[in-house]
Amino acid sequence: MCDRRENAANRQGLRLGAQRKIQFFYYYNERGMCEMHGKEIKVFTGNATHKLAEEICQCLGKKLGDSSVSHFADGEVSVSIYETVRGSDVFIVQSTCRPVNDSIMELLVMIDACKRASAGRITAVIPYFGYARQDRKAKARDPISAKLVANLITSAGADRVLTMDLHAAQIQGFFDIPVDNLAGNRLFVEYYLGKFGHGNSDVIAVSPDVGSVARTRAFAEKMGLGLAIVDKRREKANMSEVMNIIGNVEGKHVILFDDMVDTGGSICHAAKALVELGGAKDIYACATHGVLSDPAIDRINESYIKEMVFLDTIPFPEGHSSDKISYIPAAPMFAEAISRIYEEVGLSSLFR
């Protein structure tokens, strides 16, 4: 069947002759069927991460796709695509961040619109994957909402997901389509190498909890730093109590490393413990995703944290300000990943 389609396409291309030059690419989708898509990459976005999508397009040397995402009076999502996507490799950039449910629906409706417009392949580019913390049954009758969202994205028609620093790596297995989970620590390593250099004995990497030890250890190894851990007990969601510090941080510059900051309680309590109990000299903190729900920004401003660095996977909340918070652009890494996906080149170097 695939050979017949290829031959038909080639004959059509020959008939068009020199008037039009068409190049086709063939690949096998997840159902084992041979499909083809045109040469063109097209990038679209919803309302959640418009700025990031524009920066990705600048890195790719492409123009952001012409579309609009609006809402009816009752809150329904309305999507309009103003250019053809037939046969194109479509990338839809949308973090499922605040307002989370609206962002998810915008993404699903955009995927459906492109699917019904005969896009050759659709990749959902989700810099921040919401609902990732609901990845297991912590107690009786709990939902596994991360799996539900994964099913919705797959059912909507996405062929692949591109994301960064999932809260739990096993969420990749919730999808029945390929998932590329980029590692943001490479960007933080470049940033802090410029600030402290490699193997600085006066600097130590600290995990704010046991769950972040693996990612913090990977960061510390690249930086040539020692590792310490803040042991804490979480009484309930968004609240924590620091219990102990594992490792020696006395008199050292501390880099707290985590995957996300939501209300800021965990990382600010950790910073306080490191200074008051551990005798740390000063505290630098970084995390891939700055969710920054209230009162996170106030907590950071009033904390021992000297500098808080995020990747721009989530926009900074409007109506707030902080001299301590800064952002590192994630667009170059996503643009490189998109280019590699399109060209069918390995992405393994972006996972480490």
3-state secondary structure of 90: strand
Alpha carbons 306 and 5: distance in angstroms, whole number: 61
Partners of 328 in the β-ladder: 311
Buried/exposed code over 101-114 (b: 16+ C-beta within 10 A; e: otherwise): ebbbbbbbbbbbbb
Alpha carbons 181 and 347: distance in angstroms, whole number: 10
Partners of 280 in the β-ladder: none
Q: Considering only CA atoms, which of 114, 53, 63 is closest in space to residue 89?
A: 114
Alpha carbons 61 and 149: distance in angstroms, whole number: 32
Neighbouring residues of 199: CB distance < 8 A, sequence distance ≥ 6: 223, 224, 225
User: Cα angle at 162 between 156 and 167, to 5 degrees?
Assistant: 100
Of the residues 42, 222, 232, 252, only one is catalytic, namely 232
309 burial level (CB within 10 Å; 0-12, 13-18, 19+): buried
Considering all CA atoms of the chain, what is the largest pairwise distance in Å, rounded to the nearest integer? 78
Catalytic status, residue 232 = yes
- Show the 3-state SS of 183-233: CCHHHHHHHHHHHHCCCCCCEEEEECCHHHHHHHHHHHHHHCCEEEEEEEE
Alpha carbons 87 and 331: distance in angstroms, whole number: 25
Task: Give the pair of three-digit tokens for residue 202.
Answer: 């006066």
Active site residues: 232
